[in-house]
Structure 1
């Protein structure tokens, strides 16, 4: 069994096919987010957890809703689950959205 050496054309083809797969990972390493935004739906206060600062959305300037919505709190929770942000939730039959101010970059 004999192997033929890889030609320059074959190497170019391999590079052409593999480079697009690596490109997003190369860009991701250069990106540092300017704004770190985490919303704790259904919470009335800011809190910390999972190495983040969570902003509560009750009476929040970020929350925009058309109809009524309610907040709910978990009755029970596994001790291994972090309380923030998994204890509270926002429930609505109408659409709602968040407008988040972000810095360019």
Structure 2
């Protein structure tokens, strides 16, 4: 019977160590107790780690624009600095829409950016200056509240 260490000996040495019997000391799936389910699971885990490699680094935006729609002054919220869309460097192309406050007393409306809103029945466009080319991440924050002339029910 071969010892587990015999499988780690290079093939030429294994041949020299062999007895006169014709049994092979090469690694074989059929005659080895080395490949128990536990050993196979470690092998597959190791291969999985090698294949997947390192995780990609977290996304870091090249441009960070936090727009407080309907606000006339820049403000600081719980996620950082918010830029007002009235009288600011952000270009609002249609000035005929409304800046308003929620008509409901919702607890979240006291926080930026939920205290003000830009509401309209027509299309409007914002333009932003960006520093670098490349993909951009856009995150929209909505407050499920009613506004003057606009009901949250569809």
TM range (shorter): 0.5 to 0.7
Residues 1-105 of structure 1: matches in 2 within 5 Å? 2-3=36-37, 5-6=39-40, 10=44, 11-12=46-47, 14-15=48-49, 16=51, 19=52, 23=55, 26-28=56-58, 32-66=60-94, 68-75=96-103, 76-78=105-107, 82-104=110-132
Query: Higher Cα Rg: structure 1 or 2?
Result: 2
Aligned in 2, Cα 1:46/1:53: closer, same or farther, shift over 3 Å?
A: same
Structure with the bigger RCO (C-alpha within 8 Å, sep 6+) is 1
- Find runs of 4+ consecutive structure 1 residues off by over 6 angstroms: none
Unmatched runs of 5 consecutive residues or more in structure 2 = 1-35, 134-154
Task: Give me the TM-score of the superposition, normalised by structure 2.
Answer: 0.47
Indicate conservation of the 8 Å contact 2:63/2:132, yes or no: no
Unmatched runs of 5 consecutive residues or more in structure 1 = none
Question: What is the aligned-residue RMSD (CA, Å)?
Answer: 3.2
Task: Work out the CA distance in 1 between the residues paired with 2:95 and 2:72.
Answer: 19
Task: Work out the CA distance in 1 between the residues paired with 2:64 and 2:57.
Answer: 19
Task: Work out the CA distance in 2 between the residues paired with 1:49 and 1:92.
Answer: 24
Task: Give me the TM-score of the superposition, normalised by structure 1.
Answer: 0.64
